[in-house]
Amino acid sequence: MDTAKTVKTRLCMISDTHTLTPFHSTLTSKAFRHPLPAADILLHAGDLTGIGRLPEHKITVQMLIDASAELKLVIAGNHDISLDSSYYARRGAARHGSARLENPEEIKALYTSDAARRAGIVYMEEETRTFTLDSTGAQFTVYASPYTPEFCGWAFAYERDQDRFNPSTSSAQVQARNPVPGFPGVDIMLTHGPPEGVLDEVNDYGGQKKNVGCEHLLNACARARPRLHVFGHIHEGFGAVRQNWRTLKRERIRQDQETVLEQRSCYYDLSRDAEEPLVFGEETLFVNASVVNARYKPENAPWVVDLDLPVVT
């Protein structure tokens, strides 16, 4: 790949929609409203549903089909229990009740059917894959993972001392099956959960702030230094941070709320046309794209970012 040549690419990012769909377009007091902002690439970072029922998935798939984007990359989250087949075999009856269990293959097929593919939907598991946009020739590599540290017995979970993201280390109990590629092997990271210390704060039961992101994922980000890392899971962490790996400085990206409501998104330009274009290998934009807040209300806007991606020559 010739990384000297790039093309400006628009990405729309959402996460934690939990079966909720955009409000009617006339409800201008909500930023999450129809239609979703048009983009070249749509990224959904998981928690597609409330608890993984088939009707919930059908609603979410239709929302994705209706979205205006050439490519729509989707991962599951811990609430999407029927997409974690091994978990569902063990815990599905307890979560859904034994009277009516879902068929995980039928649910996965919603995201991988011919209709989904024709709409640009690509369901990603724990993997690294390279894509090329037909419209612009942009070619880019994405690392994806639905897994998060274990919490309250939900799906796609791992123990905190397990490292799913880096090559084998003496401190990790389990070697990663699909480690994150090192720099410059990945342009975008799409994970359900955040790295440690990045848009991952929650209030514990004592009212104290606590970081609950993954230390191993942060280490993988530092190795990979992607252009963009999108996640959700921690609803309270909604927002974006620009990380400089050389200085270790983090800058919170601020948004004017009136503008956000008007344009139905939080917009940030990192392309060559921006005042401060992103420097690949030196900087990463982290985005917590959770649509719902801590009370599971869809109060947050989609994020829209313009980014330069490599072009095959």
Q: What DSSP assignment string belongs to 96-146?
A: H-TTS---HHHHHHHHHSHHHHHTTEEE--SEEEEEE-TTT-BEEEEEEE-
Domain boundaries, the chain: 6-310
pLDDT at 2 > cutoff 70? no
Instruction: For residue 273, count other CB atoms closer than 10 A to its CB.
Output: 10
Please tell me the distance from the alpha carbon of residue 210 to that of residue 195, in angstroms, as a whole number: 13
Please say whether the structural domain 6-310 has been given the CATH code 3.60.21.10: yes
pLDDT band at residue 3 using 50, 70 and 90 as cut-offs: very low
Exposed (0-12), middle (13-18) or buried (19+): which is 215, by Cβ within 10 Å?
A: middle
- Report which DSSP code applies to 168: -
pLDDT band at residue 126 using 50, 70 and 90 as cut-offs: very high
Report the amino acid identity of residue 164: R
* Contact predicate 101/93, CB 8 Å: yes
The model's pTM is 0.96
| Residue pLDDT, tens place only, 151-190 | 899 999 999 999 999 997 645 555 688 999 999 999 999 9
Residue range 11-34: mean pLDDT, rounded = 96
| Residue pLDDT, tens place only, 202-257 | 987 677 889 999 999 999 999 999 999 999 999 999 999 999 999 999 999 999 99
Exposed (0-12), middle (13-18) or buried (19+): which is 312, by Cβ within 10 Å?
A: exposed
